[in-house]
A and B are shown apart, each in its own frame.
Chain A
Amino acid sequence: MVSFLIRRIATAIVLAWVVLTLIFFAIHTVPGDPAYQLAGGDSGFTEEGLQQIRESLGLDRPLGEQYANYLLGVLGGDLGESFATGQPVAQSILRRLPATLQLIAAAAVLAIAAGIPFGAWAGRRRGMADALMTSVTSVALAVPVYVVGALAVLLFSVTWRLLPAGGLTPFAEDPMGFLRGLLLPAVTLSLAFSAVVARMTRTAVIETSDRDWVRTATSFGLTRRRVFNRYVLRNSMNPVVTVVGLEIGSFLGASVIIERVFNYPGISTLLIDGVSARDYPVVQGVVIVIAVLFILINLVVDILYGILDPRARIR
């Protein structure tokens, strides 16, 4: 078990390094001159002026040195300054990160709390229940996340005026307000994810029910409920965890869109504004944070899988 943990953590660290390197080289092989971009693409700047900008950004240094500075900076928490505002990127991100994390956590919890029971019920009952679940989840997966969000805003905020259309009051100020502000975005975000979880649970339950060890457990004389819980559902969690790991990418991507739909004060606004303005440090910073977050979540999922399935620890 311990060697399994060490191997996974080591892999995660290597992957993080690879990702950081790729991000660096992606940005630094930009066609065109970033200094020119920064200057607003304005031809009003002299070559001297451009050169000054380059120096201040360290763009005239050799690539290797830039890379080293970059890595050291990231490890030390320095993500550069925004082209647009001049503010330290790390600070801007840090201010908005908690909101994003709350959103993601809430949505994930909702998705799992709703998806697993729904899928298990469909897998166990089959027939009508199964058909119902399959159709509901098909639709949930087909509707683009921004459509769900936009329609939700239309319904709950504009038409019925139940919930706020956007923004978020801090928990300390107003707990109920906070929850109301979090509810709609979190539920919307959790929709597609819970559909995936439900489907995988249903498929896993159906397939596991056919397995020989279920028959063995039944032959012991265990109650149906016990057989289902301990020999079907428990084993079904393995593929569910796997599929959760595979879906995290889409999930994080969807959170970016949801934050935009609901005007939610998370890091995605930074990202999107940064992309429109070609504000490289900001974009780079947010991408790094999201990528590292992604790797961390995957690591947790991997370890969880190792706990669930003893055979996985060998590899």
Chain B
Amino acid sequence: MMQRLDTRRLTRSFTPLRWAAFAFVVLVILAATLAPWISPHDPLAQDIPRRFLPIGSPDHLLGTDEFGRDLLSRLLHGARVELVVALGASLVAAVLGITLGLLGGYFGRWVELLTMRTVEVILAFPPIVLALLIVTIYGSGQSTLIVIMGLLFIPAFARLTFGQTLGVRSAEYVEAARAFAAPTGVILARAILPNVSGALIAQFPITLANAILLGSGLSYLGLGITPPTPSWGGMVAAGQRFMPVDPTMLIISSIAVTLTVLSFGLLGDALRDWLDPKSRRRR
């Protein structure tokens, strides 16, 4: 029973720039998904004599890194790695965070205490620091990262859902539903969730962008995705190390990360303008 898609708001929320961002996001996702099939080379294949090749070299479109590995292939596989981790983390955060926020916001009292206080404890740590602590204990690797970052991003979803749920819960149609003996599940599913989902859907790409930032940051420090697995953060770190010799490595990987994060952020903004009625701004 969803409302008809508001196509007018859609065209108004998506400026040309945002459409470009959407297109770029699709591009990145495709690249990441198809990386194993479209990479010209094996990202791990070293070729020391042919290292630091510049952009446009025959057989190596974007050049090679300090070990002679093809940069384009590493970039594509790096996208895959970053995206898998970020997506996994965002999904975990969304499912857990939304549940906590919804329950806490609707039932209030001790349920609220339990759910939202837990969320606040997570917020008591600077995210990277907590991540580093966990990495120390459990080691790095994709699955550890997904779990840690998933946990770290729970508060974003939980708080948003909590706030939105509070707002909707006091609406009269919810009170009326209770008075008319609607089962709690129905109220949550039909009355509350559809009216908060707009803001939540818009939050997802934003959390994804933050997850990429955090994940690649950890990889930069050498503590997230560890070499030789290609990761954008790691590539920037290597790029920085070999800057005097070959700045292109640094520049290419920096552009890749920045554009991706930027695009997801813009997409989130566009979705919010489209789907979240409360974020309306006057021109």
- What per-residue 1/0 map shows which CB atoms of A28-54 lie under 8 Å from chain B? 001100000000000000000000000
Secondary structure class of chain A's binding surface, majority of residues:
helix
| Interface 0/1 of B127-157, CB less than 8 Å to A | 1111011111110000000000000000000
Complex: A70 Cα to B129 Cα, angstroms: 20
A294 contacts partner chain B, Cβ-Cβ < 8 Å: yes
Residues of B near any A CB (own CB < 8 A) = 121, 123-130, 132-138, 209, 213-214, 216-217, 220-223, 233, 236-237, 239-240, 243-244, 247, 250-251, 254, 257-258, 261-262, 265-266, 281-282
The chain B residue with its CB closest to the CB of A143 is B258
Q: How far is the CB of B74 from chain A (nearest CB, A)?
A: 17
Which residues of the other chain, A, contact B281 by a CB distance below 8 angstroms? 206
Whether the Cβ atoms of B125 and A151 lie closer than 8 Å is no
**A291 nearest in chain B by CB position:** B125
| 16 further A-B pairs in the complex, CB-CB below 8 A; given A210-B282, A254-B128 | A15-B124, A19-B124, A19-B125, A27-B137, A138-B265, A142-B209, A142-B261, A145-B217, A154-B250, A250-B126, A251-B126, A252-B128, A256-B128, A272-B222, A291-B125, A295-B124
- A158-B244 in contact (CB<8A): yes
Contact A154 B132 (CB under 8 A): no
CB distance from A50 to the nearest CB of B (A): 19
A197 to B24, CA, bound (A): 28
A138, A146, A254 — most chain B CB neighbours (10 Å): A146
Do residues B134 and A138 form an inter-chain contact, with CB atoms below 8 A? no
Residues B265 and A146 in contact, CB atoms below 8 Å apart: no
Q: Which residues of A are found within 8 Å of B136, using beta-carbon distances?
A: 274-275, 278, 280, 283
Are A275 and B258 touching (Cβ within 8 A)? no
> Which residue of A is nearest B133, CB measured?
A287
**Cβ < 8 Å to B, chain A residues 268-315:** 271-272, 274-276, 278, 280, 283, 287, 290-291, 294-295
| Most chain A CB inside 10 Å of its own CB: which residue of B128, B237, B239, B240 | B128
Q: How far is the CA of A290 from the CA of B124 in the complex (A)?
A: 11
* A145 contacts across to B, CB distance below 8 A: 213, 217
In the complex the two chains form, is A151's CB within 8 Å of B262's CB? no
Residues of chain A with a CB closer than 8 A to B137's CB: 26-27, 30-31
Asked if A257 is at the interface (CB within 8 A of a chain B CB), the reply is yes
Chain A interface size band reads 35 or more
Q: Assuming A261-B240, A278-B136, A280-B136, is B121 touching A22 (CB within 8 A)?
A: yes
Query: Is A23 in contact with chain B by the CB < 8 A criterion?
Result: yes
**What is the bound-complex CA distance between A199 and B137, given in angstroms?**
37
Binary contact track A103-121/B, C-beta < 8 Å → 1, others 0 = 0000000000000000000
Which among B221, B247, B282 has the greatest number of chain A C-beta atoms within 10 A? B221
**Is the CB–CB distance between B124 and A271 below 8 Å?**
no
Q: How far is the CA of A139 from the CA of B130 in the complex (A)?
A: 26
Q: How far is the CA of A22 from the CA of B240 in the complex (A)?
A: 36
Out of B123, B222, B243, B258, name the residue touching A142 (CB < 8 Å): B258
In angstroms, Cα B206 to Cα A233, docked, is: 28
> Which residue from chain B places its CB closest to the CB of A294 in the assembled complex?
B126
B83 to chain A, nearest CB (A): 15
Q: Is the CB of A146 within 8 A of B129?
A: no
Query: Is there an interface contact between A146 and B233, defined as CB atoms closer than 8 Å?
Result: yes
In the complex where A138-B265, A154-B250, A275-B223 touch, is A144 in contact with B128 (Cβ < 8 A)?
Answer: no
Least CB separation from B232: chain A residue: A144
Which residues from A are CB-within-8-Å of B134?
26
Task: Indicate which residue in B213, B216, B237, B247 contacts A154 across the interface (CB closer than 8 Å).
Answer: B247
Please name all residues of chain A whose beta carbon is closer than 8 Å to the beta carbon of B247 when the two chains form the complex.
154, 158
**How distant is the Cα of A31 from the Cα of B266 in the complex, in angstroms?**
41
Q: Which of A27, A30, A147, A287 has the most CB atoms of chain B within a 10 A radius of its CB?
A: A147
- Cβ of A9 < 8 Å from any Cβ of B? no
Cβ distance B276 to chain A, nearest Cβ, rounded Å = 14
CA distance in complex: A3, B237 (Å): 49
- Residue of A with least CB distance to B139: A278
List the A side residues contacting B250 at CB < 8 Å: 150-151, 154
Nearest chain A residue, comparing its CB with the CB of B125: A291
Residue A214 interfacial (CB < 8 Å): no
| Cβ contact of A23, chosen from B123, B133, B214, B261, cutoff 8 A | B133
Give chain A residues whose Cβ lies under 8 Å from the Cβ of B257: 143-144, 147
Instruction: Report which of B123, B129, B222, B265 forms a contact with A290, defined as CB distance below 8 A.
Output: B129
The minimal Cβ–Cβ distance linking A96 to chain B, given in whole angstroms, is: 15
Bound together, the chains give a CA A23 to CA B124 distance in angstroms of 12
Which A residues are in CB contact (< 8 Å) with B130? 287
Task: State in angstroms the CA–CA spacing of A251 and B265 once bound together.
Answer: 19
Q: Does A257 lie within 8 Å of B124, measured CB to CB?
A: no
Least distance between A168 CB and chain B CB atoms (Å): 19
* A residues near B123, Cβ cutoff 8 Å: 249
Within 8 A of B (CB), among A150-171: 150-151, 153-154, 158
Complex alpha-carbon distance, A158 and B245, angstroms: 11
Which residues of B are found within 8 Å of A153, using beta-carbon distances? 240, 243
**CA A260 to CA B237, docked complex, whole Å:** 10
**Is A141 in contact with chain B by the CB < 8 A criterion?**
yes
Q: Which residues of B contact A290 (CB under 8 A)?
A: 126, 129
Contact string, A229-263, partner B, CB cutoff 8 A, digits 1/0? 00000000000000000001111111011001100
